[in-house]
Structure 1
Amino acid sequence: MIRSITLSGFKSLKRLSFDLGKLNILVGANASGKSSFLQTLLLLRQSSTPEGLIQSLQLSGELFEGGTAADVLHPEAERRIDVEIAEGAAISQFQFEALRSDTDPNPRTLVARSALPKLPIELSERGNWFSYLNAERVGPRVNYPLSPNEAKLSGVLGKHGEFTTAYLARAHASSATVSGWDARLNQLTFSQSKNIDPADVTLAQSQMVPVANLLLGWIIPGATFDASEHASMDTAQLGFTRDATGTKASVRPTHIGFGLSYVLPIIAAILSTHDAGTLIVENPEAHLHPFSQSRIGSLLGLAAKDGMQTFVETHSDHLVNGVRLAVKNNLIAASDVRFFFFEKNPDADSSIVTTLTVEEDGSLSDWPAGFFDQIENDLARL
C-alpha cells in the first residue's frame, strides 16, 4: 500500500503532502484541487511501462488529457513537477521538467530529470491490479461493447465502465469467483450490518455475478441485473429489475434511469480489482438516492478493509456518513480511513488540504467550516 504522497508543482497543488490510508475520501468545493490529486496518479500510470519505468511524464493519454505544460504547471513551479511516493519503508522520488525549445516552447511531455525509481506495482501493474472509473460513466444503453483484447490502463472495465456488462456476462458464463474477497464478504453479514439497517445481506457464496447482484440489491433494494454476451454481433446486453417479489421480467437499462447503470461498474470494480491493488472512483454517488449514496459509502469502506487501496472523490455527505457507519460497525478500522478536505487559497493560487480522521464511534476528528455544513446553514436561514 502507498503510505504517503507529496506533490509539488502540479496545477493548484503547489506543495502538499498526504498521509494515506486504505480508504481515502477527497472532499471540498468545486475547483479546489481534488481532481488534480487523482490526475497526478493517473499521469504517473499512463506514463509508465508495465514494469513501472517512466522516461517522461505524458500529459496526453488514455487516462487523462492534460494538454500542455502551461496547462498543468503551477505558476511558481519553475517548469517542474515533483512527486514523492512512500511505499512501506521505501521512498521513491520522481522529478519531471518541461524543457523549452525553439520548435516546441510549450511541450506535452515533461522529461525525467534523472534516472527514476520504479513506480509502485499498485500504480503500474496491468490487468486487475488497477481500476479507474471516471465521473462520466456509460449510462443506459441498448447494447454495450465487448472488452478489447489488449489490457486497458484503466482496468478491465474501462474508465467509463463501458466493458462492465461484457465482463459480468463472461463471469457468469464461467462461474467466476470473487478473487481474494472471501474474508471481506463474510464481514458483510446480517449480524454486522443490522446496525446500519435491517436488511439481511448475508453472503453465502463467492461467485462474481450472484455477489454483484446481492450487493446491487443492498444498495438499491429490490434491484437485480442479468448480463449476456453476443460475440457474433460484437455486443453485450444488460437487463435490470426493481422487484422485491421477483415476479417481473427484466427491462432494458434505457427504461430504468441512470442510477443502476452508474453504480453497477463500481460494484464490478470492487469485486474484480486485486485485493492488494488500487481503485479510483470519481463521484460514486452520481444519480443515486441519498439512501443508496450512504450504502455505497459503507461498501467502499468494506472493499478497502483487507488491502485494496481506494481513492474516492465525492460531493456527497450521505456517502461520507456511510463510511462513518462502516467504521462504527467494524466493517473497516478507523485508522484505515482518511478524509482530505480541499480548499482554495485564491491569494496563492493553490490548494489547502486538511486531513480529517475518524474515531471508532464514527465521529470525525474535526468539522471545519465548509465541510458538508450547507444543510445546517440553510436550515438556520429558514
Structure 2
Amino acid sequence: MIKTISVENFMRLDRKISVDLGPVTILVGANGSGKSSILKALHWSIRCARLRDGSGKVTLERMDYVPSRDFLELAHKKRIQNKDDLPKIKVGFIDDHDSETRISISAARNDAGVKVSIDGPLASALTAENPQTAYIPGLAGLAEVETVLATPVLRRRAASGEGGSVLRHILLDLAEYNDTASNHLELIELNRWVEKVIPGVRFWVKFDRIRDVNIDAQFWTPDMAVAGRSIEFQRKPLEMAGTGFLQVVQIFAYLLTFKPRLLLIDEPDAHLHPGTQEALIRAIEEAALEFPDTQFLISTHSPSLVRACGAETKVHWIENGTIRVEDENRVRLRMGWGALDKELIIISEDEKLSLLDGIISQWPDLHRKILIWPTFGTGGLPSGQSVSKLRKALGIPIVIHRDRDFMADEDIGEWKKKKEYDSNSVPVWITPGSDIESSFVNSDHISQVLDISIDEANELIKDAVLSLDKDEVERSFNSALYSAVSQIDLNLRSAPSARWRELGGFCENTVKGKELLKQIEKSAKRRYANTAESRKLGNLNKLRLGSKEKPVCECLKHVLSAALMGA
C-alpha cells in the first residue's frame, strides 16, 4: 500500500504537493486547480521509469503515454532542463514503512527525450512489466475496429490513456478466448462489476483467429429487451454504447485485466447521471475491498459522487496547485451543497433564481464567489440558529434574501427578531421595493435599456400604473402585506390601510414589481410599435437584466461585500 504520493514542478503544480492515499482517494477542486496534473504526473513518471534505457533515457518515440508531445514544457511554467542544479520534475511514493521512492525527470542532452532516475524500495515494483498504473481520462468513443495485438503492444496501447483503441482487445483477454472458438463468450466477471453501476448489463466477445479479422464485442441492457426475441438477437455492438457507459466498462476492464497498483480515474462523472455516479463510487469502494493491492485515485466535480462515498474514502480539496487544509467532513458537506469553490451562499425565498443571479452578475468579481439556494417561499427560510449551525459546518458566510412585500422597516426588524437573524448575526438583504422585479422599475435603468430619455422612462412607468385597476392593486397590496406580517405580534406590525397611505396610495410604490414590469412592457409597445422608434422594442428582453454600466440594487452589493469581508 502506498501511504502518500507527492508531485513537484509539474504542469499546474509548482511547489511540492503531498496527498495521503486510502484504498479510494477523491480529489475535488475547480478547473485548473491541479487535480488532473497529479494523475498525469503519476502515470507519466512511472511509465517513463519503466521504459528508460540503460542510461536512464526515454525518447518521445518510446513513451507510450505523454501528457503533451511538447514534453519539455511539462514543468511548471518553464522548460525541463538537463543541468543537475536546475529544478526537475519529481514524483514521490511513501510506503507502509514510511520509506520514500523518488522519480526525478529532467531533459536529456540535446532535448532528445528525458532523463529518468528512480530510487527507493518501491523502484522494482513500480517498474515491473505488468503496468503499475492504469490511467483512465475518459473515452471519446471506440476505435472503429480492433484486431489482435501482441501482448507488449496491447500493454503499451492500454498505458497510453487512449483506452478506446484497445478496449475490445482487453475484453477479449478477459474472456481467455480459445484461438479456435467461433461463438461469443460471455464476460461473467465483467458483468458482475459493471452491473453494480448499470443494473442487468451483460457483455460478450468473439474472435476466431481462423475466420475473423476484427474483434467483435457486444453488450445488452434490460431496456433493450424485446418480447419474443432471444438475447442473442437483441445484443448490440459495443461501439453503440454511450461515452459514460464505456468509461465505466473501461474502469472495471482495466482493473480485472491489469490489477494495477494505482488506478487513476479522471472525472468519471462527466457523462453519467447523478444516480449512476453514486452507484459508481459505491462499486469502486467495493472493488477496493476485493482488490486490496489496487488503490483508486479519482478526480471529480461531482457532488453526487462525493456525497455517496463511504467514511473510509479520503477526500482532498485541491486549490491553486496545493491541498487546502480543511476538515474532510466540511469538504464533503461543501461539495454536497455545490459550494466547494464558492465564498458565500445566498439562501433566497425565490423559486426562480434567474433575476437575483442576473443582478449579482453585474459585479463579476462577486458573482463567481456566490452560490444561490432557493427555499420556495418565505416559509422555507431557515431560522437564524439553523443558519448559524450551517455556516459553522460549511465554513462559509450565508446571507438571507427575502422580498419586502410592502413591509415597513419596523416590520422587517420584528420579522428578523422572530427569525433570530439579529441574535445570530445573520446578514439579511430585503429588496428596496416590493419584490426583485421592482428593482428594475427604475427610470435610469429603463432609460438605458430602451435608449430613451429619463422623462420618457418616467412616462412609461406612469402609464403602466394608470393602466392597472386601482381596486385590484389595493387588494393585492393588502394580501401581500398581511401575509408578510402575519407572524408578527398584532400590536407591532403595520396595518395595511395605514401602510397604503404611507407609501402614497395608488402609485408605483404600492404595485408589485412583477406586475408593473409587465405593464411597462405593454406601455412601451403601445408607444413605439409601428413607429420610427420601434427598434427600441428589441431591447425589452433586457429589461429584467442588470447592467455593469448602470447597476441596479447597489444595496445588495454592499450586503454581500460586507458579509465577505466579515468572513
Provide the TM-score with structure 1 as the length reference: 0.70
C-alpha separation in 1, matches of 2:200 and 2:217: 17
Hey, which of these two has a bigger chunk of helix by percent? 2
| Equivalent of 1:165 in 168, 193, 199 | 168
Q: 81-90 vs 52-61, which deviates more?
A: 52-61
Q: 1:92 aligns with which of 93, 98, 101?
A: 101
**1:18-55 alpha-carbon deviations (Å, 9 max, x no partner):** 22222121221111111111121122122223799882
Matches within 5 A, 1:114-153: 116-117=119-120, 120-121=123-124, 123-127=126-130, 129-135=132-138, 137=139, 139=141, 143-150=145-152, 152-153=155-156
Gaps of 5+ in 2: 81-85, 179-184, 348-370, 377-567
The DSSP-based 3-state class of the residue aligned with 2:284 is: helix
Q: Distance in 2 between matches of 1:110 and 1:142?
A: 33
Structure ID, larger Rg = 2
Question: How much does 1:298 deviate?
Answer: 0.9
- Counterpart CA distance in 1 for 2:303 and 2:59 is 35
CA–CA separation in structure 2 for the residues paired with 1:142 and 1:9: 38
What's 1:308 paired with? 294
Per the alignment, residue 199 of structure 1 pairs with none
1:1-382 equivalence runs, <5 A: 1-15=1-15, 16-49=17-50, 55-56=56-57, 61-66=63-68, 67-74=70-77, 78-89=86-97, 90-98=99-107, 104=110, 107=111, 109-111=113-115, 116-117=119-120, 120-121=123-124, 123-127=126-130, 129-135=132-138, 137=139, 139=141, 143-150=145-152, 152-153=155-156, 155=158, 159-174=162-177, 209-231=187-209, 232-243=211-222, 248=231, 249-274=234-259, 277-305=261-289, 306-324=292-310, 327=311, 334=312, 337-344=313-320, 351-354=321-324, 367=334, 370-371=339-340, 377-380=371-374
Q: Give the distance between the partners of 1:141 and 1:57, measured in 2 at CA.
A: 28
Distance 1:79 1:272 in 2: 37
Distance 1:116 1:258, change over 3 A: closer
Aligned length: 324
Query: 1:140: how far off?
Result: 5.0
Unpaired runs of 5+ residues, structure 1, are 176-206, 328-333, 345-350
Per the TM alignment, residue 263 of structure 1 is displaced from its structure 2 partner at its CA by: 1.7
Q: Helix, strand or coil for the counterpart of 2:236?
A: coil
- Following superposition, the deviation at residue 237 of structure 1 comes to 1.4
- Structure 1 6/127 Cα, relative in aligned 2: closer, same or farther at 3 Å? closer
Instruction: Give the corresponding residue for 1:195.
Output: none
Q: Greater relative contact order: 1 or 2 (C-alpha under 8 angstroms, separation 6 or more)?
A: 1
Deviations 1:82-114 (A, max 9, x none): 333212222234444447x8xx4xx364445x8
TM-score, structure 2 as length reference: 0.49
Compared CA separation, residues 236 and 40, structure 1 to 2 (3 A): same
Question: Which digits, 9 at most, give the CA deviation of each residue in 1:148-192, with x for residues without a partner?
Answer: 3315246589642432323323433559xxxxxxxxxxxxxxxxx
The change in CA–CA distance for 1:58 and 1:378 in structure 2 (over 3 A counts) is farther
Instruction: Determine the C-alpha separation between the residues in 2 that align with 1:375 and 1:210.
Output: 50
Alignment check: 8 A CA contact 2:50 2:126 kept: no
What CA distance in whole angstroms lies between the structure 2 residues aligned with 1:95 and 1:230?
45
Letter in 1 for 2:3: R
Deviates more, 1:20-29 or 1:116-125: 116-125
Percentage of pairs with the same residue: 20
Aligned CA-pair RMSD: 3.9
